[in-house]
Amino acid sequence: MSVTVRVPAKVNVQLAVGAARPDGFHDLANVFLAVGLYDEITVSPADELRVTCSGPDAAQVPLDRTNLAARAALTLAERHGLDAAVHIHIAKDIPVAGGMAGGSADGAGALVACDALWGTRASREELLGICAGLGSDVPFALVGGAALGTGRGEKLTVLETGGAFHWVFAMAARGLSTPAVFREFDRLNDGVRIPEPVASQDLLDALAKGDTDALAAAVSNDLQPAALSLFPELAATLAEGRAAGALAALVSGSGPTTAFLARDAAGAVRIAEALAASGTCRTARVAASPTPGATVL
Ligand code: ATP
């Protein structure tokens, strides 16, 4: 017997970053959109906890108990007095260390999968609570769709969307560490007075209406200068995507994946082909949004 859960990547259409707090974290106003690039998590009974991973980036995924999928299974088992004797297989299609919350997706996916396998029937509140304990981006991978995250990004408000948006994601040749990007943000903003992060009303309206042009005009990412500072080659990728007709081009989350908003599905395919041919990225993929969160297949 096994259970498979499909879980999406995310793009931040707004990532507003506040000043570093005394605990080192930053308050955020984070507008998440779940996009159609997925990892699939399959869990099946085993003698002991074991993690395996397949896919182009599999070699970069830790298979020990630091893997967020393993941590999710251990947390659920502990809370319900169970032994986490489970084989977790991650079929990985979300780029690793790409700023698309792939590890977070695996955490949410493993949690939903183990809950179904073990019949623990945890409430939505309990699952969301465990997700928040695993990391700031994990609750969103559970709910999917579109949402505003505040606090460290983990307090979620679901947002309505009025239509589909078509994206291209350009994967970079190497990853970027999220903590390193925040450290670079702090360095670049040393001595600068940073305003409270707030969600853009224009952006929320654009999402609610499904208005691609308005969304393109409103997207923003306060981490982009820090990501570009650590990974200057991304500027060329962004320029190629714009030249190929992208309505907006931005770094996804902490990067280094870059995200391009297209007018429609056909436009996305054209931009992806141009990016792939440009030699400024490893691969380019099209993906539509929004898409549901962790879903049992
Ligand atoms: P975010 O967008 O949330 O900042 P990211 O997409 O940049 O995250 P991830 O792919 O989630 O980055 O992984 C970041 C690091 O977390 C990896 O380099 C890896 O060491 C570790 N990690 C833990 N669990 C996983 C997992 N299941 N898949 C991938 N990486 C994982």
CA distance 205 to 78: 42
Minimal-distance CA residue to ligand 1 atom 16:
103
Kindly report the backbone phi and psi dihedral angles of residue 35, in degrees, each rounded to the nearest multiple of 5, phi listed first: -120, 155
| Nearest CA owner, ligand 1 atom 19 | 61
Test site for ligand 1: of 61, 93, 181, most ligand atoms within 8 A of the Cβ: 61
pLDDT score for 28? 93
Centre of ligand 1 to C-alpha 188, Å, is: 24
Distance 282 CA to ligand 1 centre (A): 18
Closest CA to 160 of 220, 219, 207: 207
What per-residue confidence (pLDDT) applies to 20?
86
Asked if residue 12 has its Cβ within 6 Å of ligand 1, the reply is: no
Based on the residue annotation, tell me whether 155 is a catalytic residue of this protein: no
Q: Where are the alpha helices (DSSP H) in the chain?
A: 68-79, 102-118, 124-134, 138-143, 178-188, 201-209, 212-218, 224-230, 234-243, 265-278
In the predicted model, residues of the chain with pLDDT beneath 70 are none
Q: How many Cβ atoms sit within 10 Å of the Cβ of residue 203?
A: 22
Annotated catalytic, 137?
yes
pTM score, two decimals? 0.95
**Rounded (10°) angle between helices 68-79 and 124-134:** 130
Of the candidates 57, 115, 137, 222, the residue annotated as catalytic is: 137
Ligand 1 center to 160 CA (angstroms)? 27
- 238: Cα separation from own chain's centroid: 19
Centre of ligand 1 from the C-alpha of residue 105, in Å: 9
Amino acid at 62: P
Cβ of residue 69 lying under 6 Å from some atom of ligand 1: yes
Q: Is 93 exposed, middle or buried (0-12, 13-18, 19+ CB in 10 A)?
A: middle
Residue nearest to atom 1 of ligand 1 (CA): 101
pLDDT value, residue 84: 97
> Of these residues, 10, 57, 106, 115, which one is catalytic?
10
| pLDDT given for residue 83 in this prediction | 97
